[in-house]
Chains A and B, each alone.
Chain A
């Protein structure tokens, strides 16, 4: 096992009568929610250092010139982790994510400029990374705040309805 395997959900395996069940941190919070999709189980890898060696065809959210979040299919995480000589960390479990629709909803959640995404900033009062634009937004945030963010989003949706 690599020394950071304990951070990667992808390292789980069925063995000796055990079959690990993965769970989204938003599973309960999003129950019955309209217009919100759960991105929590997408693969997410944070890269620190050179960003030139990343595999092609994946979404790269640049935070600084030397720091980025790669969003990929869960099974592609290992490929991203191995592709670069920079420090790469599996953030799949650390970051929950939702996709939502609507400019007004977005403007009530955050003061980030929707025309200048991706960007890092506060969404519903918690630190987040936001991608998208043109009415559709993907928001990634610490999973421990998952229920809190979804609660705020659903409350604001109700206020706009």
Chain B
């Protein structure tokens, strides 16, 4: 039932829509909220409380409290008092068993309360431990808010948008609008954010409404929740005009349906033309709240009593109800029958955003509220949030010894008193122990009440109690909005599509997606041994180190020497940390006197680049480090026919004399400018071709087409892993970890400790003096079982090492691997056991490469 048209009402009675609530149709006007339409339809109970399932009705009507939270079209915890209805929307109550009016779980309130005081879950339900999952499941089912439907999948698209403005105004009340207009008149770019959906027409600035400022972060970043869009606003100047939040009074029965805050009552009448009750009582301590009597009278509500708490020293207020709805109010024992109790404990400036930005907050004892002071630069407060509140007086902490301090979390007066008695005597501890201020209202409606209660109980005064730390979010925000669009950037080489077209199974290696195999890894490995294989190694990190000090730079970074590396030659390099541990490996080719081309592992490229740039900044050498990784494609052509294939494509001399093992040569291959590195990670004659990535597909296609009759086929990572293991070549990160040092990994030959200095030298000297703790060695299995990578090395029944790599080598007809073992085991033919599926299998140490130990095929 609606009142006659009200001046300025928000509803448009000429347009209507229908949604369903608990399966029944509800009519709404345009401009209604779901909450106002439900109220008009006669609904008074809007939710069941968090813990005790007490019936709750409209309280603030401004989207602050949790009293009207419902599930709308599957989205839980929607505050229907500010949510516009959509035609056909499905609105359901939450946290109830049955219906809102008859919730079977309300038995918790009737018989469970003595057993569930504050913190009961810390003291009960501890034994037996095996029942923990049952306890958890039980508690989650009988308490809480709405549920997320895990099976619905994504239903909302969330986006984020970055905004830069001169002035951001938070709050679209009178003061906020005035500040925005003034800034706009100065010519500033202004953005105004308002929590209410109301339209401000014809303003000379942009308005986001409804939009909630979630917080103020470092650097003045203000995320604004605009529904399914998160605005990340950076403003030179932030104007906070968040006004005040009316505080509930604390008295027995203060959570009954029909106990409301004055502004909520005003909204029902003025915006939605609704009569909030028939017979009303008003208790308040400020003029603005008391003046709601005029609105009520005009709406035809009988105002039976107005108690001004400043003039009358009221000691006790009690609301009594039936079926959860208020029907009588006793003010100091004087009973008045009513169905609406408008109760306000003063408006509290909504200072939270200001405090987050760094403002101080002080207690104003004369008026009984906290006000912001000492604002940080770039932040301004205007309007009622500054403490311009008119005439108001401090009400008592409590009127009687019952009632709820926090309606969101069902924290009662006796819970707070009990917390003090248990020693949680500061307000910050009260927050953590009782969860007061931690509910969906984020303390908007319970912060001041909790402080007043603590001050009263401890006899110290509110100023001494202080406030809890203001933190984001100032308004609840959905996780989906914070997460935004799912997007995980993957790196693809310029040849990636060819691998997919060839049917490769693609796996993640770091940020790269690479072909694991093209269907048959052992056959791919065999092809490399027998004819020629090609593998896309564009993922290798590639750095150019150039400048007059380039040699000096590398000498200091690497344990081995580069000063004597001749232009046109390549050398293996391993990078050591300050602690002598292996951080990465690769090759270094000298292209000229002052130019080196460094390759790194695929996943180590970014780390090595950062490492080089860091040391370059420290040493201040005349050298530049440039990342060429993506611009240069690389293909390794390997196998006994590799030279034949290459010779078909280039006029450069690729004979065994013209391009020797560890040579680097420039030349055109199939017309593409290439750097050819003759190296051999996979153990066969091989050439790594480096060339502009824009020719990736072309050169890959050409190699396979022109090499088809030679047997050229692609091979993937798995085949490469088998091949390199046959040579006992390590993979950093697979065979080494953050503890592995250069000497113990079997590379003492690379650490030139006689050099003046290099990163990690000091640590390696100590490691050498100390002797190895464990060493990386090759091994082969006695019976051909392939042990699990990460498996245990066992000697004499004791755990004494670990497997890092293991594969079946078809070429050798043996199961081979690499393992860390104690130094005394690191001898040719030493025996140990490996745990495989609970059994112990025998293995023997092999110190030399399993395949081509003299490198004859490699250097052919």
Q: Beyond A13-B671, A145-B490: 13 further Cβ-contacts under 8 Å?
A: A3-B595, A6-B632, A6-B691, A20-B695, A20-B699, A21-B698, A46-B626, A48-B626, A125-B489, A143-B494, A146-B492, A147-B490, A159-B159
**Contact indicator B666/A107 (Cβ below 8 Å):** no
**Contact indicator A104/B631 (Cβ below 8 Å):** no
For the complex, is B386 an interface residue (Cβ under 8 Å from A)?
no
Q: Given A13-B668, A143-B494, are A6 and B673 also a contact pair (CB < 8 Å)?
A: yes
**Contact indicator B673/A93 (Cβ below 8 Å):** no
Task: Give the distance to chain B from A51, nearest Cβ to Cβ, in Å.
Answer: 14
Task: Give the distance to chain B from A150, nearest Cβ to Cβ, in Å.
Answer: 11
Q: List 24 A-B contacts (CB under 8 A).
A: A5-B673, A6-B673, A7-B628, A7-B631, A9-B692, A20-B699, A21-B698, A22-B695, A23-B695, A24-B694, A40-B694, A41-B694, A46-B626, A48-B624, A90-B692, A93-B632, A94-B629, A94-B693, A125-B489, A145-B491, A145-B630, A151-B487, A152-B487, A156-B159
**Contact indicator A87/B624 (Cβ below 8 Å):** yes
For the complex, is A110 an interface residue (Cβ under 8 Å from B)?
yes
Contact with B along A92-104 (1 / 0, CB 8 A): 1111000000001
Q: Please measure, in the bound complex, the distance between the C-alpha atom of A144 and the C-alpha atom of B696, giving whole angstroms.
A: 12
Q: Given A89-B544, A126-B489, are A6 and B693 also a contact pair (CB < 8 Å)?
A: no
For the complex, is A91 an interface residue (Cβ under 8 Å from B)?
yes
**Contact indicator A155/B485 (Cβ below 8 Å):** yes
Q: Please measure, in the bound complex, the distance between the C-alpha atom of A46 and the C-alpha atom of B690, giving whole angstroms.
A: 20
**Contact indicator A5/B666 (Cβ below 8 Å):** yes
Contact of A107 among B162, B624, B674 (CB under 8 A): B162
Task: Give the distance to chain A from B551, nearest Cβ to Cβ, in Å.
Answer: 15
Closest B residue to A87 by beta carbon equals B624
Closest A residue to B546 by beta carbon equals A87
**Contact indicator A8/B673 (Cβ below 8 Å):** yes
Contact with A along B480-491 (1 / 0, CB 8 A): 000001010111
Contact with A along B652-677 (1 / 0, CB 8 A): 00000000000000111011111100
Q: Cβ of A7: which chain B residues have Cβ within 8 Å of it?
A: 628, 631-632, 692
Q: Cβ of B693: which chain A residues have Cβ within 8 Å of it?
A: 25, 93-94, 143
Q: Given A6-B632, A23-B694, are A113 and B494 also a contact pair (CB < 8 Å)?
A: no
Q: Cβ of A14: which chain B residues have Cβ within 8 Å of it?
A: 671
**Contact indicator B673/A156 (Cβ below 8 Å):** no
**Contact indicator B630/A143 (Cβ below 8 Å):** yes
Q: Given A6-B692, A12-B695, A94-B630, are A20 and B592 also a contact pair (CB < 8 Å)?
A: no
Q: Given A6-B666, A107-B162, A143-B631, are A22 and B671 also a contact pair (CB < 8 Å)?
A: no
**Contact indicator A20/B547 (Cβ below 8 Å):** no
Contact with A along B459-500 (1 / 0, CB 8 A): 000000000000000000000000001010111111001000
Contact with B along A22-54 (1 / 0, CB 8 A): 111100100000000000110000101000000
**Contact indicator B157/A159 (Cβ below 8 Å):** yes
Q: Please measure, in the bound complex, the distance between the C-alpha atom of A55 and the C-alpha atom of B187, giving whole angstroms.
A: 40
Interface residues on A, range: 35 or more
**Contact indicator B162/A93 (Cβ below 8 Å):** no
Task: Give the distance to chain A from B460, nearest Cβ to Cβ, in Å.
Answer: 46
Q: Please measure, in the bound complex, the distance between the C-alpha atom of A13 and the C-alpha atom of B629, giving whole angstroms.
A: 23
Q: Cβ of B673: which chain A residues have Cβ within 8 Å of it?
A: 1, 5-6, 8, 11-12
Q: Given A143-B494, A156-B485, are A8 and B547 also a contact pair (CB < 8 Å)?
A: no
Task: Give the distance to chain B from A74, nearest Cβ to Cβ, in Å.
Answer: 10
Instruction: List residues 66-109 of chain A with CB under 8 A from any CB of chain B.
Output: 87, 89-95, 104, 107-108
Residue among A8, A20, A89, A126 having the largest count of chain B Cβ atoms under 10 Å: A20
For the complex, is A60 an interface residue (Cβ under 8 Å from B)?
no
For the complex, is B702 an interface residue (Cβ under 8 Å from A)?
yes
**Contact indicator B668/A15 (Cβ below 8 Å):** yes
Q: Please measure, in the bound complex, the distance between the C-alpha atom of A5 and the C-alpha atom of B668, giving whole angstroms.
A: 10
Closest A residue to B689 by beta carbon equals A6
Q: Please measure, in the bound complex, the distance between the C-alpha atom of A13 and the C-alpha atom of B695, giving whole angstroms.
A: 12
Q: Cβ of B694: which chain A residues have Cβ within 8 Å of it?
A: 9, 22-25, 40-41, 92-93
Q: Cβ of A125: which chain B residues have Cβ within 8 Å of it?
A: 487, 489
Task: Give the distance to chain B from A23, nearest Cβ to Cβ, in Å.
Answer: 5
Closest 7 CB pairs of A and B: A94-B631, A11-B673, A18-B671, A93-B692, A6-B675, A144-B491, A3-B591
For the complex, is B768 an interface residue (Cβ under 8 Å from A)?
no
Contact of A4 among B159, B161, B591, B671 (CB under 8 A): B591
For the complex, is B579 an interface residue (Cβ under 8 Å from A)?
no
Q: Please measure, in the bound complex, the distance between the C-alpha atom of A112 and the C-alpha atom of B763, giving whole angstroms.
A: 43
Q: Cβ of A144: which chain B residues have Cβ within 8 Å of it?
A: 491-494, 512, 629-630
Q: Cβ of B555: which chain A residues have Cβ within 8 Å of it?
A: none
Closest B residue to A159 by beta carbon equals B159
Task: Give the distance to chain B from A101, nearest Cβ to Cβ, in Å.
Answer: 16
Task: Give the distance to chain A from B707, nearest Cβ to Cβ, in Å.
Answer: 14
For the complex, is A124 an interface residue (Cβ under 8 Å from B)?
yes
Instruction: List residues 488-516 of chain B with CB under 8 A from any CB of chain A.
Output: 489-494, 497, 512
Q: Cβ of B489: which chain A residues have Cβ within 8 Å of it?
A: 124-126, 145, 148-149, 152
Contact with A along B636-654 (1 / 0, CB 8 A): 0000000000000101000
For the complex, is B160 an interface residue (Cβ under 8 Å from A)?
yes
**Contact indicator A16/B651 (Cβ below 8 Å):** yes
For the complex, is A142 an interface residue (Cβ under 8 Å from B)?
yes
**Contact indicator A108/B159 (Cβ below 8 Å):** yes
**Contact indicator B692/A147 (Cβ below 8 Å):** no
Q: Cβ of A143: which chain B residues have Cβ within 8 Å of it?
A: 494, 630-631, 693
For the complex, is B697 an interface residue (Cβ under 8 Å from A)?
yes
**Contact indicator B161/A107 (Cβ below 8 Å):** yes
Q: Please measure, in the bound complex, the distance between the C-alpha atom of A113 and the C-alpha atom of B233, giving whole angstroms.
A: 12
Q: Please measure, in the bound complex, the distance between the C-alpha atom of A108 and the C-alpha atom of B232, giving whole angstroms.
A: 10
Closest A residue to B232 by beta carbon equals A111
